[in-house]
Amino acid sequence: MMSSSVLSRDFASSLVVFLVAIPLCLGIAVASGVPVAMGLISGIVGGIVVGLLAGSPLQVSGPAAGLAVIVFGFVEQYGAAMLGPVLIVAGLLQVLAGFLKIGSWFRAISPAVVHGMLAGIGILIILGQVHVLMGARPAAGGIENVTAMEQTLGRVWGSGLTRESVALLVGLISLLAMIAWEKFRPKPFMLVPGALVGVAAGTILTVGMQLPITRVEVPSSLIDSISLPALDGFARMVEPGIIMTTLVIAVIASAETLLSSAAVDRMHDGVRTRFNKELFAQGIGNALCGLLGALPITGVIVRSSANIQAGARSRASAVLHGVWILGLVAFLPQLLAMVPLTALAAVLLVTGWRLISLHHVRHLFDHHGWVPVGIWTATVAMVVLQDLLVGVALGLALSILEILPHLRRKLAIDRLEDEEGIHLDLVGVATCKDVPALLNMLETLPEGRKIRIAGARLHYLDHTSAETLREWLKRQKKSGRVVEIEHPPVGRHRRLKPIFERLSEEVA
Q: In a 3-state reduction of DSSP, which class is residue 215?
A: strand
Contact 213, 166 (CB under 8 A): yes
pLDDT value at residue 490: 58
State yes or no: pLDDT of 1 exceeds 60.
no
CA distances from 498 to 369, 398, 492, 495 (A): 11, 23, 11, 6
CA distances from 304 to 161, 264, 285, 309, 341 (A): 41, 7, 17, 9, 25
pLDDT value at residue 492: 59
State yes or no: pLDDT of 412 exceeds 60.
yes
Q: CA 16, CA 5: separation in Å to the nearest integer?
A: 17
Q: CA 120, CA 125: separation in Å to the nearest integer?
A: 9
What radius of gyration do the chain's Cα atoms show? 24
pLDDT band at 198 (very low <50, low <70, confident <90, very high): very high
pLDDT band at 256 (very low <50, low <70, confident <90, very high): confident
Mean pLDDT of 190-199: 89
Q: CA 396, CA 387: separation in Å to the nearest integer?
A: 14
* Neighbouring-strand partners of residue 63: 297
State yes or no: pLDDT of 433 exceeds 90.
no
Report the residue count for the chain.
Answer: 508
Give the contacts of 442 (CB within 8 A, at least 6 positions apart). Answer: 472
pLDDT band at 43 (very low <50, low <70, confident <90, very high): very high
pLDDT value at residue 482: 85
State yes or no: pLDDT of 128 exceeds 60.
yes
pLDDT in tens, 467-505: 888 888 888 887 788 888 887 665 555 678 788 888 888
CATH class of the structural domain 411-506:
alpha beta
Tally the C-alpha atoms within 13 A of residue 219's C-alpha that lie toward its C-beta: 16
pLDDT in tens, 325-374: 999 998 888 899 999 999 999 999 998 898 888 888 998 888 888 999 99
Helix 111-133 vs helix 370-385: angle between axes, to the nearest 10 degrees? 40
Contact 309, 191 (CB under 8 A): yes
Higher pLDDT, 189 or 236: 236
pLDDT value at residue 486: 82
* Neighbouring-strand partners of residue 417: 422
Q: Do β-strands 297-299 and 61-63 pair in parallel, antiparallel, or remain unpaired?
A: antiparallel
The region, left, alpha or beta by phi > 0 then psi within -120 to 50, assigned to residue 257 is alpha
Percent of the chain with pLDDT over 90: 46
pLDDT value at residue 273: 85
Q: CA 57, CA 271: separation in Å to the nearest integer?
A: 7
Mean pLDDT of 135-161: 84
State yes or no: pLDDT of 424 exceeds 80.
yes
Percent of the chain with pLDDT over 70: 97
pLDDT band at 129 (very low <50, low <70, confident <90, very high): very high
State yes or no: pLDDT of 5 exceeds 80.
no
pLDDT in tens, 437-467: 888 888 888 888 889 988 888 888 888 998 8
pLDDT in tens, 271-303: 878 889 999 999 999 999 999 999 999 998 888
Task: For the chain, give the mean pLDDT.
Answer: 89
pLDDT value at residue 2: 59
Q: CA 329, CA 331: separation in Å to the nearest integer?
A: 6
Q: Where exactly are the structural domains of the chain?
A: 4-346, 356-406, 411-506
Helix (H) or strand (E) holding 134: none
Tally the C-alpha atoms within 13 A of residue 85's C-alpha that lie toward its C-beta: 19
3-state DSSP of 393-433: HHHHHHHHHHHHHHCCCCEEEEEEEECCEEEEEEEEEECHH
Mean pLDDT of 142-162: 83
